[in-house]
Amino acid sequence: MINFGYARANDVAEAVRLIAADPTAKFIAGGTNLVDLMKEDVERPTSLIDITRLPLTKVEEIPGGGLRIGALVPNSDLAYHPLIAQRYPMLASAILAGASAQLRNMASTGGNLLQRTRCAYFYDTVTPCNKREPGSGCSAINGTNRGHAILGTSEACIAVHPSDMCIALRVLDATVHVAGPSGERTIAMADFHRLPGDTPQRDTNLRRDEIITAVELPAQGFAKNYTYLKIRDRLSYAFALVSVAVGMEMDGNTIRQARFALGGVAHKPWRDSSAEAALNGQTASPEAFRRAANALLRDARGYAHNTFKIELARRATIRALNQAAHATPQSQSNKKIV
C-alpha cells in the first residue's frame, strides 16, 4: 500500500475546499469499498478526506411529503428507519438484500451510490481493464463474463453496477443533492449513473470535486404494491446476478401505474419507460407481465458465459411484477442486528 495523507473535514464547505485543492484526493465515508480498492492497488489516492463527521446523518421530512436522506446515514439505519420501513419498504428491502449486517452498519448512503463494479478484472491489476486503465482493453469481453452486463454494454466495457439500494432509488425517482466549488445542484437518479460508452472509467455524472450531501425521495413510496427480488448465487452476502425493484399503484386488479428497474444487468439501474407504459391501465395477468418483461429485455445481448441472464431476468421480472401486483413482496430479513 502506498502512503497517503489524511484530513478530516468539519463542514461541507471545508470538504469541497479540500477536494478541489487536490486532484488525486478522495473522500472516505464508511470505507467498505474504497479501502478494499486501495489494498488491491486499484485506487491510489494521495490523500483521504474523512467526511464521517459532517452533519449529514439525518432522515428528514420535506414539504410535499417526501424525505431527505443525509449522505452519511448508514445503510442499516436507513433500512430500519420507521419512515422508510413504513413509506418506502421497497427501499428498505433492497438495502437489506445487500452485503452483510456488519457492512450495512458501516456503509453510507453516498458511498453506496458510488461503489465501483465487482468485475474481477477491474480488481486484478495485472489484466487489461478500460475502467481501471483507459485504453488498455477489456479482459471480460472475451474472458470470464458470467456476472457481466446484458444491456447497455459497449466495446469498451461490459461491467455491471453492483448496488441494490440504487435500483430501488431509480424506481422511486430519487434525486441526488451535491455540492461543489460552484455551488449546489441536483442530479436525477436516472442521470446519476452512466452507461460505459467509450469512457467506462466514469461511473457517474458526479464531478470529481463534488460531494453528495443528500438523496431526496418524492412522496410516492409504493408502500402497498412493491417488491425487491434479488437472484444471487448465495442467499446472503452476494451481489445480484439479476435483481428487480417494482412499485405499483393498483385499482383492484387493474394497474394504474407500474414502475420497475433491473439490477445486475447493466452499468446503471435499467429502467424503460415504454415497458412500463405498456402495463398502465392493464389487468394484472401473467400475459401482461410477460409482455412487459419482453419489452424491458428486447435489446439484451449475452456474451460467452452470461446468456442465461436474459431468461433469468425475464422470469425474475415476471415474478416480481406478480409479487408487487398482489402485494406479496419478496421478504428480506427484518430482524435488526445490533
Q: Residue 54 binds which entry of ligand FAD, ligand SF4, none, with Cβ cut-offs from 5 to 8 Å by kind?
A: none
CB 326 within 8 A of CB 250: no
CB of 150 to ligand SF4, least distance (A): 13
List helix spans (H) across 172-250.
189-192
In terms of CB distance, is 117 or 213 closer to ligand SF4? Answer: 117
> What are the Cα distances from residue 328, in Å, to 15, 105, 189, 246, 249?
44, 28, 26, 12, 14
- The grid coordinates of residue 50 equal 474523512
Q: What whole-number distance in Å separates Cα of residue 115 and Cα of residue 61? A: 26
b or e along 6-28 (b: 16 or more beta carbons within 10 Å of the residue's beta carbon)? Answer: eeebeebeebbebbbeeeebbbb
CB of 127 to ligand FAD, least distance (A): 21
CA 58 vs. chain centroid, Å, equals: 20
- The grid coordinates of residue 253 equal 386488479
Q: Among 153, 163, 317, 323, which residue sits at the site for ligand FAD (rule: CB under 6 A)?
A: 163
- Restricted to residues 238-297, the positions that interact with ligand FAD (CB under 6 A) are 239
Q: Residue 71 binds which entry of ligand FAD, ligand SF4, none, with Cβ cut-offs from 5 to 8 Å by kind?
A: ligand FAD
In terms of CB distance, is 150 or 214 closer to ligand FAD? Answer: 214
Q: What whole-number distance in Å separates Cα of residue 148 and Cα of residue 159? A: 5
How far apart are the two ends of the chain, measured CA to CA in Å?
A: 32
CB of 259 to ligand SF4, least distance (A): 28
Q: Among 9, 18, 28, 242, which residue sits at the site for ligand FAD (rule: CB under 6 A)?
A: 28
Q: Residue 111 binds which entry of ligand SF4, ligand FAD, none, with Cβ cut-offs from 5 to 8 Å by kind?
A: ligand FAD
CB of 42 to ligand FAD, least distance (A): 11
Q: What whole-number distance in Å separates Cα of residue 25 and Cα of residue 265? A: 31
Q: What whole-number distance in Å separates Cα of residue 130 and Cα of residue 330? A: 36
- Restricted to residues 211-240, the positions that interact with ligand FAD (CB under 6 A) are 211-212, 239
Contact flag: residue 93 with ligand FAD (CB under 6 A): no
Q: 254-263 and 211-217: which strand pairing?
A: unpaired
CB of 15 to ligand FAD, least distance (A): 8
In terms of CB distance, is 87 or 131 closer to ligand SF4? Answer: 131
Residues that bind ligand SF4 in the complex, under the rule CB under 6 A:
117, 119, 121-122, 129-131, 138-140, 157-159, 200
Q: What whole-number distance in Å separates Cα of residue 96 and Cα of residue 65? A: 24
CB 231 within 8 A of CB 223: no
Q: Among 110, 221, 269, 329, which residue sits at the site for ligand FAD (rule: CB under 6 A)?
A: 110
Question: Which range touches ligand FAD (CB under 6 A), out of 28-36, 61-69, 130-138, 219-227?
Answer: 28-36
Question: Residues interacting with ligand FAD, by CB under 6 A?
Answer: 26-34, 36, 51, 71, 98-99, 103, 106-108, 110-112, 114-115, 162-165, 211-212, 239
